Amino acid sequence: MPVFNAAKTLKRAVESVRLQDWEDWELLLVEDGSTDGSAEICETLSTRYARVDVIRQLGNTGAAAARNTGIRAARGRYLAFLDADDEWLPDKLSRQLAFMRAQGAVFSYTGFWRQRGRQCHQVRVPGCVTRQALLKGNVIGCLTAIYDRKYFGTVEMPPLRLRQDFALWLDLLARCDRAYGLNQPLAVHHVRAASLSAPRGRAMQATWQLYHQYLGLSGLQSAWYMSNHLLRRLRRG
């Protein structure tokens, strides 16, 4: 869990992991140079709970670098992701891991709730997605993804400022035929006011860079996938 200036929400996120009915988990809090007291909260939680550990970064390195620090330090077979302002429902891990075993899946994701202030709606997901389909638009919420390190080994997020999770999903799907989706809302994504007011142009530029620079697609291919990506976002609202 990357932690940067998340003092208001960090305890809620950690508690959502601690209350999982699947008991075989470890939680790595990667403290990324916070200035709001988050570091002290991390230390308190780590002291209180044996399965919560803290790793402190030297300064603010960004979400991708913080997540990769956690990925490298993780000891379990399955890697799951959660940001410090989101939360899991109590049966998230047990349901999703049972689903993966039933499907023979090495990479999976689930539906989730998107919370904007007092408004909440369910984000539904397809039953599976291939790399070719995912290129048209990301349907995998980072807070829901799990991949099997026994199959993939340790795969890190690319060093992108934005869209690093989308890039990781595409990298994983280059190594397996599909990811499997459990269309049940097992997590809650809290949309912050800062996210709502963030410049759209910056996000679009990051998506273009992912297609054109990171994936090396031609300008025409990148434009085609960008148009599909934008249409999907417009339909979602």
Domain identity same for 175 and 226 = no
Rounded distance between C-alpha atoms, residue 74 and residue 28, angstroms = 7
128 and 237 assigned to the same domain: no
pLDDT surpasses 50 at 171: yes
Residues 204, 182 share a domain: no
How sure is the predictor about 149, in pLDDT bands with cuts at 50, 70 and 90?
very high
Residue 197: what pLDDT?
38
**Cα separation, 231 vs 237, whole angstroms:** 10
Task: State how far Cα 11 lies from the chain centre.
Answer: 18
Assign residue 94 the CATH number of its domain. Answer: 3.90.550.10
Q: Check: pTM over 0.95? Answer yes or no.
A: no
Q: Are residues 145 and 226 in the same domain?
A: no
Domain residue limits at 105: 2-198
Total of domains in the chain: 2
Strand pairing of 119-123 and 78-80? unpaired
**Domain identity same for 124 and 170:** yes
